[in-house]
Structure 1
């Protein structure tokens, strides 16, 4: 990497695919280039499926560390295991700004062997449930952590944090445009799709809504869905988020967001109708 005239301090990555550097040699090479990074933006999309630019099921950056990182912005990341959060918290001595743009927690996932080998999905096989299928073997996974767990962990684990935002940029709904340096345009709020389920057997989009999940649960049933419910923790998530904002002394603008689906945010939660702007000090 001798072609760099000076150490790399800022890096923006868009259209990042579900690729995890597994080789120690590759990790060492990447670390050598980015060891001086103070700012990292990363947005995940499906490159070959324009109709579904959501985050892949897992982007695992374990093994990569940026000792100078102060600014981190993640777009459409899918959180599916605690190690991803631990990776963020691993920058506690430097990280001052954290932005989560249209990111989601995948609380339940189904992998199909014709698309995903179980050892390649980035999740320990001991946590996967195996069920027989006439066409393929399906592996199911359930993730227990919720956003209020994340907010509490961020509050306690990032002592230098002074700026935090979670929400959605309007650009995501405009011809699937990836927001470029759009942190200030990120509308703060806890959108309904901050939780998703994943079905590797569907297409073109594998991320499913609450109603689709209920239908799938009723159709397939079985032990893989036993005790699994769509997260119903709006109040817990909002309370933990407000407490995080209070701890860093950040003002929150509870304005509204109007996308193609006419979604609105009120008091940090998505609502069906908008009753006017509210500014709160948390």
Structure 2
């Protein structure tokens, strides 16, 4: 059989491995290659916040290339600050250009649109704090972010051309502040209910003039404790196959707390978590409760909280009573969590019989690429897999730095009763190897 006699599906696969110059050449080589090369060449649109970019995307929407587009990414900043906290004064606030808004509102007109990605800047601030910084201002205000999200939701549920084929939504640097009118609207819920894949990286406010307050901001705890679960995850829980939950830079899971025990995803095959801290057995129990379907588990920089010191008395489940635990010295309390990774690995090996892919380690966080590169994470031990929470430290309560002192590895913190770093490298490695070997046998 000659190559030009191959079915179009085979030609599509061939084009998946071709670079852009090759695809351009294939479109002009033979008419049999034209559909496959065109679909691959124009399957993704990258919208930038400029009039020129919006015009180019609009022209593709109106052209015969419309059918080829299956995914659109909107990067909200044309500066090199999307993932950085440069200490600069912004001359103006970001606005959603009319040209960009007009294009976004017509996304549903793409015949085969299946995936939409949003990429906000990491810098954010809650209402009434957008201009509180001493040395810099927030360019992408919460009002700007909400205007973008509102525009997308309106496009997905448009009366004349809804995005009926949309199945994947990814938002990088979603601010931990939800406008009630948006997240409780019927359109918002209906959009989430049609998704197969949801990926969220949560950005939190960072006040560099008073960094010690960042972890105790009310919006942080409300979002992780309530909004994330009830507004973003619960509506999508019945249909999600792929779920990714990351934080941009703030450890979550324990403080701020995130209790997902009353959520179940009956179709979930892939789960990726970034910067989530493990402090209770029930957190792993919740992951194992997805055993009937879960095939991929990624734990990206998700340490076990070995011990915690707070300035208030804990509740009966070792949780601080509220966000004020970090800053109100009404008492002192501490606890230790005896779980180790070799125990977690053993439980994962026994408790997830369908697991075929396990990622464990630390992704490219320093380059701010961990979220989008989670699928590439390998599986190896890393020093920061254990941590402690020292509530007496400002500005950073989460402690992962370890030093050798008199033959023991100790955490670099002011808590004089902090336990030493766990001495179980051999056990952890042995259990990880056993887990990976079991997974290899299943493939």
Normalization by structure 2: what TM-score? Answer: 0.45
Whether the aligned pair in 2 keeps the contact of 1:60 and 1:122 (CA below 8 Å) is no
For residues 95 and 234 of structure 1, what CA distance do their matches in structure 2 show? 27
Q: Determine which structure has more spread, i.e. the larger CA radius of gyration.
A: 2
2:405 paired with 1:210: no
For residues 100 and 29 of structure 1, what CA distance do their matches in structure 2 show? 21
2:372 paired with 1:173: no
Match of 1:49 in 2: none
For residues 251 and 233 of structure 2, what CA distance do their matches in structure 1 show? 25
Q: Judging changes above 3 Å, is the alpha-carbon distance between structure 1 residues 202 and 75 closer, same or farther for their aligned structure 2 residues?
A: same
CA RMSD in angstroms comes to 2.9
For residues 184 and 148 of structure 1, what CA distance do their matches in structure 2 show? 23
Q: Judging changes above 3 Å, is the alpha-carbon distance between structure 1 residues 250 and 44 closer, same or farther for their aligned structure 2 residues?
A: farther
Instruction: Determine which structure has greater relative contact order: mean sequence separation of CA pairs < 8 Å that are 6+ residues apart, divided by chain length.
Output: 1
For residues 29 and 216 of structure 1, what CA distance do their matches in structure 2 show? 38
Match of 1:12 in 2: 199
Match of 1:239 in 2: 430
Q: Residue 78 of structure 1: SS of its match in structure 2?
A: coil
2:344 paired with 1:150: yes
Q: Judging changes above 3 Å, is the alpha-carbon distance between structure 1 residues 72 and 210 closer, same or farther for their aligned structure 2 residues?
A: same
Query: How many residue pairs align between the two structures?
Result: 220
2:186 paired with 1:2: yes
Spell out the pairing of 1:1-282 with structure 2 (5 A cutoff).
2-3=186-187, 4=190, 7-15=194-202, 17-18=220-221, 19-21=224-226, 27=230, 30-46=233-249, 53-55=250-252, 57=255, 58-113=257-312, 118-119=314-315, 123=318, 135-170=329-364, 172-174=365-367, 177=368, 179-208=370-399, 209-211=401-403, 213=411, 216-217=414-415, 220-221=416-417, 228-249=419-440
Whether the aligned pair in 2 keeps the contact of 1:118 and 1:139 (CA below 8 Å) is yes
Displaced runs of 4+ in structure 1, greater than 4 A? 26-30
For residues 73 and 2 of structure 1, what CA distance do their matches in structure 2 show? 28
Whether the aligned pair in 2 keeps the contact of 1:27 and 1:64 (CA below 8 Å) is no
Q: Residue 239 of structure 2: SS of its match in structure 1?
A: coil
Whether the aligned pair in 2 keeps the contact of 1:38 and 1:71 (CA below 8 Å) is yes
Once the two structures are superposed, what CA deviation does each residue of 1:19-41 show, in whole Å capped at 9, x if it has no partner? 2239xxx7599534322111100
Q: Judging changes above 3 Å, is the alpha-carbon distance between structure 1 residues 44 and 122 closer, same or farther for their aligned structure 2 residues?
A: farther
Q: As a proportion of its length, which structure holds more helix?
A: 2
Whether the aligned pair in 2 keeps the contact of 1:31 and 1:66 (CA below 8 Å) is no
For residues 306 and 441 of structure 2, what CA distance do their matches in structure 1 show? 29
For residues 168 and 28 of structure 1, what CA distance do their matches in structure 2 show? 29
Cα deviation for residue 215 of structure 1 reads 5.6
Gapped runs of 5+ residues in structure 2? 1-184, 204-219, 321-327, 404-409
